[in-house]
Amino acid sequence: MEQEQNELEKSAAQAGAEEAQETQPAGELPTPEQIREVIRAKVRDPELMMNIVDLGLIYDIKVTPERTAEITMTLTSPGCPAGPQIITETQRAIHMAFPELDEVNIHLVWTPFWNPDMMSQEAKDELGIF
């Protein structure tokens, strides 16, 4: 069962990478918005089962001429047990979608401290936050 799930995840990641490459001319670096969309499609908080972009965990994305993506993000709390998994999945999703990037650096910050107001309206609606 776990092997089947891993195969499904690999297929989904490959499809996302192929889609990103189709919209990306060879040799060009992705835009921050393209990276944001990959994160939105591929990285979920495993406890809430919601993407981390709509949860408001991604604060900033920069792409440098040195072929590096710099992601500034937070977690819902400093003790978030899913933190390492979310960070690893974010790096993996970006590397898979944009192999032309040499590095994906995650900068974990606590200021501003995350709160539910940072969520998209869609995420608030889905979680029943008014």
**What DSSP string runs through 71-114?**
EEE--SSTT-TTHHHHHHHHHHHHHHH-TT-SEEEEEE--SSPP
How far apart CA 65 and CA 63 sit, in angstroms, is: 7
Predicted confidence (pLDDT) at residue 118 exceeds the cutoff of 50: yes
Query: What's the mean pLDDT in 84-97?
Result: 98
CATH number for 83? 3.30.300.130
Higher pLDDT pick, 53 / 22: 53
Predicted confidence (pLDDT) at residue 87 exceeds the cutoff of 90: yes
Number of domains forming the structure of the chain: 1
Query: What's the mean pLDDT in 39-61?
Result: 96
Please report, for the chain, how many H helices and E strands are present, in that order: 4, 5
pTM above 0.85, yes or no: no
pLDDT of residue 24: 57
Predicted confidence (pLDDT) at residue 76 exceeds the cutoff of 50: yes
Query: What's the mean pLDDT in 63-83?
Result: 96
Angle between helices 32-42 and 83-97 (to 10 degrees): 120
- Give the range of the structural domain holding residue 41, as residue numbers without chain letter: 2-127
> In the beta sheet, which residues pair with residue 58?
73
Residues 6 or more apart from 64 whose CB is under 8 A from it? 70
97-111, pLDDT tens digit by residue? 999 999 999 999 999
